[in-house]
Amino acid sequence: MNLEEQAFAQEFIRLATDGDARGWHERNGGNLSYRLTAAEIEACVDCFHNTAPWNAIRTAVPVLGGAFFLLTGSGKCMRNVRFAPAENTGIIEINAAGNAYRLVWGLTDGKPTSELPTHLAVHALKCTGGKEGNRVIYHAHPAHLIALTFILPLDDALFTRELWEMDIENPIVFPEGIGIVPWVIPGSEAAAAATLEKMRSYRVVVWAHHGTFVCGDTFGDTFGLMDVLEKSAQICGEIIAMGGKRQTVTEKNLRDLADMYDLKLNEAALSANSELEIGIKLCYTVHK
């Protein structure tokens, strides 16, 4: 079986295709990485070459020593991934010390995503001693979420609370809330460091005026998480455009939901008062 036919590669391609269909990947916007399991590395090892040079990783990731990642290339488009996986994606190997990587498959005329520092920093945080989970990290440019970062205060609790109110499933899907990073230079070590800090508490980090990073155990979980966030942001934007809320989901409603579903909801988001702190009172006439 060739590498592109492996189940993990097929799921990677499906996520890239679905994200493109949602309109989250204009031009080369967004990127995706997946940490292979030991069995997947074993199944693919005959497809790997060992001729590419090692490249230094500026902020070493010792915990990822010996790991392999399938990822999108810099400047490559999600819409092309399904047509030419080996041109638009590649597999990198991390050396034993976790301070260098080399290409072992694919990206025939390219290099890994410019957001590699953030992907590796978050993988290092989320991979806990070979645990099966948290293998997928996905960055997209969903328009409604980006738009909200021009309107809502860049505050984790307020952003979380607004999105929770938009869809009853949301407190169940991301009970821990979401993190917001103020504008950062794309591809920078500073962006990676800021994202890492927020990812210590969350699985979702929104980069103001740019896009969103999410991580998940499976490709399906990861795509679903991006999807609920973006749909909720769309509803929120429509409410703002309609002149604001006249009624909404209350703190008590959310606490009742938490009791029923045994959720540990982010306390700061639960008690956030969007009416007072939203900063766009003219639009918002909230009666809770």
Binding mask 174-213 for ligand 13P (x = CB under 6 A): ------------x---------------------------
- Single out the residue of 62, 65, 66, 75 in contact with ligand 13P (rule: CB under 6 A): 75
> Is residue 110 within the footprint of ligand 13P (CB under 6 A)?
no
Which residue's CB atom is positioned nearest to Zn ion? 211
Binding partner of residue 74 among Zn ion, ligand 13P, none, CB cut-off 5 to 8 Å per kind: ligand 13P
Of 50-89, which residues contact Zn ion (CB under 5 A)? none
Check residue 117 for interaction with Zn ion (CB under 5 A).
no
Q: How far is the CB of 184 from Zn ion (least distance, A)?
A: 11
Backbone angles phi, psi at 205, to 5 degrees: -130, 125
Asked if 118 is part of the footprint of ligand 13P (rule: CB under 6 A), the reply reads no
Q: In what order do the strands lie in the sheet with 68-72?
A: 55-56, 100-106, 89-94, 68-72, 31-35, 136-140, 211-216, 204-207, 179-181
Quote the longest CA-to-CA distance of the chain.
Answer: 64
Catalytic-role residue among 115, 162, 165, 230: 115
Angle among Cα 11, 15, 16 to the nearest 5 degrees reads 115
Shortest distance, CB of residue 140 to Zn ion, whole angstroms? 8
Whether the Cβ atoms of residue 225 and residue 204 lie closer than 8 Å to each other:
yes
Examine the residue annotation and report whether 115 is marked as an active-site residue of this protein. yes
Residue 89 phi/psi, 5° resolution?
-130, 165
- Give min distance, CB of 186 to Zn ion, in A: 6
**Could you give the string, one character per residue 11-50, with x where binding to ligand 13P holds by CB under 6 A and - elsewhere?**
-----------------xxxx-------------------
Distance, in Å, from the CA atom of 282 to the CA atom of 64, rounded to the nearest integer, reads 49
Q: Are 8 and 40 in contact (CB under 8 A)?
A: yes
Closest CA to 274 of 239, 258, 242, 250: 250
**Tokens linked to 243:** 């002149």
**How far, in Å, are 33, 38, 40, 200, 254 from residue 43 at the CA level?**
19, 9, 5, 32, 46
Answer for which of 113, 149, 232, 248 binds ligand 13P (CB under 6 A) is 113
**Which among 259, 62, 286, 41 is positioned nearest to 162, based on CA atoms?**
286
| Phi-psi label, residue 229: left if phi above 0, alpha if psi -120 to 50, beta otherwise | alpha
Q: How many CB atoms lie within 10 A of CB 246?
A: 11
Number of residues that bind ligand 13P (CB under 6 A): 12
Size of the site for Zn ion (CB under 5 A): 1
Stretch near ligand 13P under the rule CB under 6 A, chosen from 6-14, 71-79, 125-133, 223-231 = 71-79
DSSP string, 136-175: EEEEE--HHHHHHTTTS-S-HHHHHHHHHHH-TTHHHH-T
From residue 241 to residue 270, the character string flagging contacts with ligand 13P as x (rule: CB under 6 A) and all else as - is ------------------------------
Q: Which stretch binds Zn ion (CB under 5 A): 91-99, 161-169, 209-217, 267-275?
A: 209-217
Stretch that binds ligand 13P, among 111-119, 129-137, 160-168, 232-240 (CB under 6 A): 111-119
| Chain contacts with ligand 13P (rule: CB under 6 A) | 28-31, 72, 74-75, 113-115, 139, 186
Q: Would you name the residues annotated as active-site residues? A: 115
| Chain contacts with Zn ion (rule: CB under 5 A) | 211
